[in-house]
Amino acid sequence: MNYQWYPGHMTKARRMMQEDIKLIDLVIELVDARVPFSSRNPDIDELAKNKSRLILLNKSDLADKAKTARWVEYFQQKGFYVLELNAKTGAGMKAIDGVVKEACREKIERDLKRGIKNRPVRAMVVGIPNVGKSTFINSYAGKACTKTGNKPGVTKGKQWIRLNKTTELLDTPGILWPKFEDQSVGLKLALIGSIRDEILNIDELAISLITFLSAEYKGILAERYGIEEEGTPLAMLEAIAEKRGCLLKGKGLDYSKAAGILIDDFRSGRLGRLTLELPEEKEA
């Protein structure tokens, strides 16, 4: 299956970010901790060059803890400030103020030397759809400033949010890039919900997830669904359908319903803490 989703508002959003970047001191980029590489828009590095950078590994509660530590080290070696985060519960939020000040220390000191006091740090919050930007902003601000949702594409325009006297945030829409050169990236984005489910083949998506899990996290499917992890991925999806009573009105199993259950269990963390990629795979 070819994975792609690039609605018209994303082109407009990218142009808007190019115009606003000159006003910005810091770029805060949210990525999904389960796919830290695939959930990074490669255009952001070009847009944000010469700016201080903070990467937030959001939804870290859903990701493999040991593998997340490897990703933190990877991004730090690339020169980024990095934090693990769960914007929904607030875990990791207390550390952000200190890191923002450290990332913008030179700018703050420069302002003081020029006699400029109390000019707030301006941070642009960026990321692809459904990585939790709006949830992060609401949690950081301590109030509902933006719309949130578990589907991609909720935020359509920009919005300035003044957190306090020292920090202002610019919320931006989630933007993908026009073409995935590597379709495995598109597959992972589909799995975490950054591409609209309505344009996906959920059965194929579930087969791909089963293939990965049976190789990298053996025993997870057996534990969750009480099935034997043997045979083809299709046979395992069939076993999940049988165990969960996914039946069509006539005779036969409802593979799509079983696929939906599996994908939802992965996205919600009911399968456990899982990470779909490692830094060394990207370097290779």
272 known member of a binding site: no
133 known member of a binding site: yes
Q: How far apart are CA 162 and CA 102, in angstroms?
A: 19
Cβ–Cβ < 8 Å for 194, 128: yes
The single-letter DSSP state of residue 116 is -
Q: How far apart are CA 193 and CA 186, in angstroms?
A: 11
131 known member of a binding site: yes
60 known member of a binding site: yes
254 known member of a binding site: no
Q: Reading across the β-sheet that carries 26-32, which strands appear in turn? A: 81-84, 52-58, 26-32, 121-126, 167-171, 159-162
58 known member of a binding site: yes
135 known member of a binding site: yes
132 known member of a binding site: yes
35 known member of a binding site: no
275 known member of a binding site: no
In angstroms, how far is the first alpha carbon of the chain from the final one?
Answer: 24
Q: How far apart are CA 97 and CA 109, in angstroms?
A: 17
39 known member of a binding site: no
- Residues belonging to the binding site are 58-61, 130-135, 174
- Residues belonging to the binding site for GTP are 58-61, 130-135, 174
